Amino acid sequence: MPHSSQPNPSMPSPDMSNAFMSNTSKIEPAIATLKPDLSHLKGVRVIAAMSGGVDSSVVAALLKEAGADVLGVFLHVWDYNREDVAGQGSCCSLDDAYDARRVCDQVGIPFYNMDMRENFRANVIDPFIQDYETGRTPNPCERCNRFVKFGALLDAADELEAAYVATGHYVQRRDNEDGVRIFRGNDQVKDQSYFLATTSKEQASRILFPVGHLKKDGTRILAQHYDLLTANKHESQDICFIPTGNRIEFLKKEGATLGFRAGDIVDREGTILGRHQGIAHFTLGQRKGLGLPNGPWHVVDMDGITARVVVAPPEDALIRQVLVHEQTWIRLPREGEQVLAKVRYQMRPSACTLSIDKDAVSMVFEQPQKPTAPGQVAAFYVGDELLGGGVVAGIDVA
């Protein structure tokens, strides 16, 4: 059950709420073009998922101005070392919780602080460690969305009798007669649809993305319009629970000993090319930092049992066929539709064919692609529409 850090959640005074509304009552024409139509949410209870950043702050302000019954909820997922966070930026740290509370006060909505540390440890941290010990490359943002933000938070919405959860993701929702439809964000640089590929249709039907149509500078313009205290706050980078960016240090601190057993680096024929200090130092497709002669080389396989790392020349590291497990669909592709797929966040969606059964999806790219790794997400699209996705379980070289 969500709880606040004070007996009475940060309920705004009537004067504070009225002050916010009076400041935003005069809409400049240019500002009006940035605002989504949220009039259908008037009087509807909506949870604004507050991260302490500018995107979620604008979401809260837009919902409040539209007349929704807004509850601001911050997810306490990890206990941060203040020295690690300082100067690095973070997501969901103590400072972010403070900023989220102040924005809720500023906008005029209640604030709740949900303790999600146990859930986050079980569904994000522990699998993250295990993957690096066994030769997989995890995607913690996807797992956080699936199990925490769009899992437990929707359960909390039921307890709080909220119809929707609204987030600051750069993703667009455009429903039609067939139901919920999810599309890439208009800002192609910030588009986050890839991380929602394992979100179920039922979850997606209760999630709103009020800034998904905007580019980042448009969101900041709205934040300045509302005079939000996070308007110029810089964004967090890297993995949220590793604000320093030092993955190796984090894994060692968390006791991932199996990932740091020394082993051989070999080519596909088994010729030993060098030694390494643990498979946790590597990801599939990696080419930098290998320190091998006669390169370049790409990592094409890792064995968590033997601690062996296999490398190959770039032309032998490309992939075409990918096996996907844990599949989830917002809608299945129709006959004749050209399906596109991404198996890395920074990848441009590429044409492929799918063979779908109840347990797995076999995907074959029309053109060879740069490597991905088991544990990463495969996201399926038709044009800009996100169909669904799953978790990469295996790959075959081109």
339-367 pLDDT tens trace: 999 999 989 999 999 999 988 999 999 99
Q: Who wins on pLDDT, 142 or 16?
A: 142
* Catalytic position from the list 91, 92, 141, 144: 144
Q: How much is the pLDDT for 235?
A: 77
Confirm whether 240 is a catalytic residue.
yes
Percent of the chain with pLDDT over 70: 88
Mean of pLDDT values over 318-337: 95
* Catalytic position from the list 91, 92, 240, 352: 240
Reply yes or no on whether the pLDDT at 34 is more than 90: yes
Reply yes or no on whether the pLDDT at 4 is more than 50: no
Query: DSSP 3-state assignment of 199?
Result: coil
Mean of pLDDT values over 222-239: 87
Counting Cβ atoms within 10 Å, is residue 238 exposed (0-12), middle (13-18) or buried (19+)?
A: middle
Confirm whether 144 is a catalytic residue.
yes
Domains of the chain listed by start with CATH number: 14-168+210-225 (3.40.50.620), 261-316 (2.30.30.280), 319-397 (2.40.30.10)
Q: Which of 122, 118, 159 is nearest to 140 (CA)?
A: 122
Q: Who wins on pLDDT, 181 or 1?
A: 181
Are 133 and 259 within 8 A, CB to CB? yes
Q: How much is the pLDDT for 396?
A: 81
As a whole number of angstroms, the distance between CA 299 and CA 301 comes to 6
Q: Which of 187, 138, 145, 161 is nearest to 374 (CA)?
A: 138
